Structures are given as C-alpha cells and as structure tokens.
C-alpha cells in the first residue's frame, strides 16, 4: 500500500476504503451532539507552513528531521544542536511517531498544565489548586473529549507530513530508546544527553492530570472511540510504517 499524504482528505478517503478500519473498531456511538463537528475541525486544519518551522537539517544537508510536538521534539533539538531550520531538499527524511492516544494524553496534559503557569507565584498556586479541583470533576474531564485538538501538541501527527511522500521517510516509533536509535543512525553521540522522553514526570500536577485522563479513558470506552476516530489517520500511519 502506497500512500502519499497530500492532505487530510486523501488519507481519510484512503482509510475509509481500507479493510484495516475494522481492526480499530470504530464504533461511532458516542452520543455527544458534536460528532459532526469532528469532520469540520479536520477540514479546517491545514498546517500552512507550520511544518516548515519544525524541520531540522543536518550540517552536511544529508538528513532532514521533521520534529513533531510531543514526539521527543525537544529532546531531538537538544540532541542535534548543530542542525538548523532550513528549507532544502535532503537525501533522507527522519521523523518520530507515537501511539496516538498516548500522545494525545501528553498533549492535553500540557494544554491544561499551561493554564496554571504564570510568573506570579500567588496566582500560580491558586491556579494549580483550581486545576486540581477541575480534574476531580468528571464533567470537566469528559468535556475535554469534545475539544480534543487545542494546539500543535494535539494535532494529528499525520498533518505534519502534509505534502510528503511518507514512503520516503524513515520513521522511528516513540519509546524510551528512540533517541539512542536516532543518534546511532545519524552518527551523533547521545551519551551526554538524557533521554528526556517523558517530561510529564517533571510535575506532580502533570502526572495527576494524565492519570485522571487515563482513568476516564478506561471508564468510558466512548471517549477512546472518539480519539480513535479523530486520530485515525495517525493509526493508519502508525500501522503502515516500518519500525526503525
């Protein structure tokens, strides 16, 4: 199966025709009135240059790295400080992809956490307390699934490959060894770099937020189904690529 990810429309039409669709068990029975809106938000999203800012090119211009938010992108930038943002053609293109739901949890956690951050310590403490109360409220957590895409951290990963022929990209699946695998391939010494692939542990609040969201996902299969639907292009991508 050869896919060129021109845009969301093409990959969704491909997915509709793909027999693998049944493997993901897309039971579209979540009774929110806003299922239709998912379609709108997908159509609305065209990256229009966003991906350009996320490209790193090696000094010898052999490699291009598409850094996707929440896919160890900060760690990659730290690992490859000599690489620059350039719009050039390179023989090889690399990217890290991540389990879509795992990535969404990380992204939505970051979104919520960001609301508590301010330079005013008193205000920040108050906001942290307020966020604690919010994540104890089931209705609040359920509402998050009605606006799951907030920013680049929760945009589907496949959107970042808009216009690329994915068959020419060397993909790495996100896990605790991903940076060492990347550094080995591009011949960069990673020994001085911490594999900073789980920044959520930086903050107790972040851990609590992500734990609560996981609880909801386990409690309400409909929520998981919504994410499957929303990120189905990512699941196609994830299932189709060759692991490196």
Rule CB under 8 A: which residues touch another protein? Answer: 31-34, 36-37, 39-41, 43-48, 50, 115-116, 127, 130-131, 133-134, 137-140, 142-143, 146-147, 149-152, 155, 222
- The CB-of-6 to another protein minimum distance in angstroms stands at 17
Long-range contacts of 163-167 (CB under 8 A, 24+ apart): 163/5, 163/6, 164/4, 164/5, 164/66, 164/93, 165/4, 165/5, 166/3, 166/4, 166/5, 166/237, 166/240, 166/241, 167/2, 167/3, 167/4
Which residue, 41 or 62, is less far from another protein as judged by CB?
41
SS3 state of residue 66: strand
Q: Which helix (H) or strand (E) covers residue 114, if one does? A: helix 100-114
Which residue, 47 or 95, is less far from another protein as judged by CB?
47
* Whether the Cβ atoms of residue 116 and residue 87 lie closer than 8 Å to each other: no
- The CB-of-107 to another protein minimum distance in angstroms stands at 13
- The CB-of-226 to another protein minimum distance in angstroms stands at 13
Which residue, 9 or 244, is less far from another protein as judged by CB?
9
Which residue, 140 or 238, is less far from another protein as judged by CB?
140
- The CB-of-184 to another protein minimum distance in angstroms stands at 35
**Nearest in space to 71 (alpha carbons), one of 161, 204, 189:** 161
Which residue, 6 or 34, is less far from another protein as judged by CB?
34
**Nearest in space to 71 (alpha carbons), one of 183, 172, 221:** 172
Counting DSSP H helices and E strands in the chain, the numbers are 10, 6
- The CB-of-129 to another protein minimum distance in angstroms stands at 10
Provide the edge-to-edge strand list for the sheet that holds 63-66: 55-57, 63-66, 92-97, 169-173
- The CB-of-55 to another protein minimum distance in angstroms stands at 18
Which residue, 151 or 167, is less far from another protein as judged by CB?
151
């Amino acid at each position: 199966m050869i896919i060129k990810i021109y845009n969301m429309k093409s990959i969704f039409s491909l997915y509709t025709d793909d027999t693998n669709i049944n493997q993901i068990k897309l039971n579209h029975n979540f009774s929110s009135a806003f299922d239709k809106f998912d379609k709108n938000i997908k159509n609305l999203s065209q990256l229009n240059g966003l991906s350009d800012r996320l490209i790193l090119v090696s000094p010898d211009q052999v490699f291009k790295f598409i850094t996707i938010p929440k896919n160890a992108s900060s760690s990659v930038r730290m690992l490859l400080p000599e690489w620059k943002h350039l719009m050039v053609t390179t023989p090889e293109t690399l990217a890290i992809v991540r389990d879509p739901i795992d990535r969404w949890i990380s992204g939505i956690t970051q979104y919520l956490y960001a609301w508590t951050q301010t330079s005013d310590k008193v205000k920040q403490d108050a906001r942290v307390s307020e966020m604690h109360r919010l994540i104890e409220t089931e209705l609040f957590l359920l509402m998050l699934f009605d606006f799951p895409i907030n920013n680049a951290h929760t945009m589907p990963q496949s959107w970042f490959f808009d216009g690329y022929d994915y068959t020419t990209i060397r993909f790495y699946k996100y896990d605790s060894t991903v940076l060492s695998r990347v550094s080995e391939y591009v011949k960069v010494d990673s020994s001085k770099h911490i594999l900073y692939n789980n920044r959520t542990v930086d903050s107790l609040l972040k851990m609590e937020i992500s734990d609560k969201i996981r609880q909801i996902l386990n409690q309400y299969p409909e929520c998981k189904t919504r994410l499957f639907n929303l990120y189905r292009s990512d699941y196609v991508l994830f299932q189709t690529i060759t692991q490196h």
